[in-house]
Amino acid sequence: MGKTRTPKPPKPPKPTDASKPTNSSEVVVNYDLFDLPTAFHKAGLAGLILLIESLKARQELTADVAKYEVTPTEATVTFTEPLVRKLMDDLYDARKVEKRYAQPKKKDNKPISPKRVDVEKREEGGKVKEVKWHIYDEVEPCGQFLRDQYPEMPDDRSWLKLWRDMLWNIPRGRPKQREPFDQRAAGQPCKEGPNVWTELGKVRKARAKNGFHTTGVSSSLFPNAQDTNAESIPFEGRAEQNVLLHFWPLTVLLFVPQAVAKDGETDFAGYTLAVPDVTNLSEFVREYPILLASLSKDARGYRPAQAVIDVPAEGALAFLDDLAMLTGLQVETGELRFCIGGVEYLHLHKPPKQNNVKLMAAGRVSPNRRLLAGYRAIACPKDEATRYRNPLFRRGLLVALLDDKLEDKLWHRPFGRILCEFEAGVFIRQLRKADDEKGPPQFATDAAKKFRHETKLFTKTLERHNDMPDTPRPTAPPPVIVNRVVRSYLLSRTQEKTGIDPDKYKTPDGETDYKAIPGEFNDAKQKLAQSLILEFRSRRDQAFVDHFAATFFSVTQRLNEADRLELANLLTVADRRDDLKTITLLSLSANS
């Protein structure tokens, strides 16, 4: 007899997750801020919510299509194909605009034929000259959400232009990376809409099998990323999280670091992205549009003045400071409460005629009362007398502020390298005529402000000491002592050489009015200061000590006993000589 087959029992139905939709026309994704891998993803989530709200405000999306819920730490978004397509088409919306060039554009070292050539007539020196402009059609991102939020400024120096330039240089620097914008400028839907919806469909299928779907991350979505690196290792992320990387350009603040040449000339070098590490989503999406609208309308060259920074980390500090100002936080005394846990900054630069974007610097700045109070004192003090404007001097102060190992009294240390690397003339004061007061900010002017501020603080300390006569008299800090010694020497030697007494030229406040002193005196003092900077910065260790003593003690120096002992300690203790050298060079600059 044959074997009787026992029928197999039916398979039990798979458990269903009520939170997962069975409707194939939508994909519901729950985003948790603490589950997202990077600050770019968190900024992208905020950008996604803000763009949905912007489309609803423009009546381009209805509430039944744009369905989402937001809490301080989570967002649940119901993606549908119409919603995804609308988001991507608006995000990558672009138009064609005419731009003119003095010379024909080139591709592969061959001229490209312009759309047309315009001739402009100019009158120069009594003669009329014709200037030819080569006109080309170029694609320009619209950025409608940002256009609605940024303050109105001339197009050639606006925040929106800075955003467009950043896109075209950093994440979309190659023609192939600009394809979505090209499609929108041609009046077509962009390819990103169908692509994203396809990936979300795969997410739904993987989720039904209790898995997840991953996709590669490219540099057009994540700066300096590679789909596959040189070791053939793929760079991938969960597809539903990668969707968020499309939207971070809407929620990063942009800055332009200044590069300073050896002769003191400045130029803009790349872009700094200040990326918020969002910790309270609902508050951030409420506050960020207000922050954008409150940005300054002032310009510096062809960039917004508020966007120009001296060190990359200043971008993060500026973001935190703007947010603190917006929410009315008392940085000096109040409790710091932010909707972000910190700001990550990346300084990215694409050298001319190169395709690769170079990462120049990166870091993170967290909300900190000392940092914010110090930054506010440097960048936007209440007292105009302590407003520092020279990029090199501000750079030194900011580096000292950001170095956790340096105390406030060691603010001068970062200047040691600066004073030895740049041409000596950069640090010498240049007196200007009355009709030329608005020249470039001078290092010497800011150095003099800093020494006056240090002297003022010490004077207040002495006043408090006078109320307590039984306590020992405080010793002046090294910058106050050395500045007094250097100043006395420069004035004494210049008076001997020129025969001009500067004490005869005083302002109503009792200060020496150097603009009223004959030019011969100021010229001689500047030459002497520059010569001493060259002499002192080339000497080290005992050679510096010997030259310091032989030079500055060759004239009468009036110092009390405590200050003389402190100066002697600076000269004899090896670990303090570098500080003395830096303060000496700063003092020569300030008194030049």
Instruction: Answer whether 338's CB lies under 8 Å from 314's CB.
Output: no
Confidence at residue 128, expressed as pLDDT on a 0 to 100 scale:
84
Q: For the chain, what are the domain ranges?
A: 26-95+153-249, 97-136, 251-401, 408-590
The mean pLDDT of 89-116, rounded to a whole number, is 89
Please state the φ and ψ torsions of residue 153, each to the nearest 5 degrees.
-145, 165
Of the given ranges (25-29, 370-374, 405-409), which has the lowest mean pLDDT?
405-409
Grade residue 12 by pLDDT with cuts at 50, 70 and 90. very low
For residue 587, give the H/E element and its range: helix 577-590
Grade residue 18 by pLDDT with cuts at 50, 70 and 90. very low
- Which among 459, 431, 458 is positioned nearest to 444, based on CA atoms? 431
Neighbours of 212 (CB within 10 A): 13
Grade residue 592 by pLDDT with cuts at 50, 70 and 90. confident
| Residue pLDDT, tens place only, 264-276 | 888 898 999 999 9
Whether the pLDDT of residue 469 is over 80: the answer is no
Q: How far is CA 538 from CA 146, 181, 527, 551, in A?
A: 52, 55, 17, 15
Grade residue 21 by pLDDT with cuts at 50, 70 and 90. very low
Confidence at residue 64, expressed as pLDDT on a 0 to 100 scale:
83
Grade residue 381 by pLDDT with cuts at 50, 70 and 90. low
CB-based burial label for 247 (10 Å; 0-12, 13-18, 19+): buried
DSSP summary character for residue 308: E
The mean pLDDT of 86-103, rounded to a whole number, is 93
Grade residue 5 by pLDDT with cuts at 50, 70 and 90. very low
Whether the pLDDT of residue 82 is over 90: the answer is yes
Grade residue 516 by pLDDT with cuts at 50, 70 and 90. confident
The mean pLDDT of 257-270, rounded to a whole number, is 87
Q: What is the DSSP string of 196-242?
A: HHHHHHHHHHHHHTT---EEE--TTTSTT--SB-TT--B-EEEHHHH
Cβ partners under 8 Å of residue 241, min gap 6: 31, 36, 37, 41
Of the given ranges (34-48, 83-97, 128-142, 461-475), which has the lowest mean pLDDT?
461-475
Grade residue 123 by pLDDT with cuts at 50, 70 and 90. confident
Average pLDDT of the residues of the chain: 87
Whether the pLDDT of residue 533 is over 70: the answer is yes
Whether the pLDDT of residue 242 is over 90: the answer is yes
The mean pLDDT of 114-137, rounded to a whole number, is 85
Grade residue 17 by pLDDT with cuts at 50, 70 and 90. very low
Neighbour-count burial for 30-51, b at 16+ CB within 10 Å, e otherwise = ebebeebebbbbbbbbbbbbbb
Whether the pLDDT of residue 532 is over 80: the answer is yes
Q: What is the DSSP string of 276-307?
A: EEES-HHHHHHHHHHHHHTS---EETTEEGGG
Grade residue 182 by pLDDT with cuts at 50, 70 and 90. very high
Q: Residue count of the chain, please give it.
A: 592
Whether the pLDDT of residue 333 is over 60: the answer is no
Q: What are the structure tokens assigned to 76, written together?
A: 């649940």
Confidence at residue 548, expressed as pLDDT on a 0 to 100 scale:
94
Grade residue 16 by pLDDT with cuts at 50, 70 and 90. very low
Grade residue 4 by pLDDT with cuts at 50, 70 and 90. very low
Of the given ranges (172-181, 233-242, 511-520, 580-589), which has the lowest mean pLDDT?
511-520
- Which among 73, 74, 84 is positioned nearest to 27, based on CA atoms? 84
Q: How far is CA 420 from CA 369, 403, 584, in A?
A: 32, 20, 12
Grade residue 489 by pLDDT with cuts at 50, 70 and 90. very high
Neighbours of 434 (CB within 10 A): 6
Of the given ranges (6-15, 358-367, 559-568), which has the lowest mean pLDDT?
6-15
Whether the pLDDT of residue 13 is over 60: the answer is no
Most confident of 177-191, 373-387, 431-445: 177-191
Whether the pLDDT of residue 297 is over 80: the answer is yes
Q: Measured between alpha carbons, how far is 32 from 77 in angstroms, rounded to an integer?
A: 11
The mean pLDDT of 518-544, rounded to a whole number, is 92
Q: What is the DSSP string of 321-388?
A: HHHHHHHT--TTTSPP--SEEEEEEEEEE--TT--PPEEEEEEEE---HHHHHHHHHHHS-SSGGG--
Percent of the chain with pLDDT over 70: 91
Confidence at residue 300, expressed as pLDDT on a 0 to 100 scale:
87
Percent of the chain with pLDDT over 90: 57
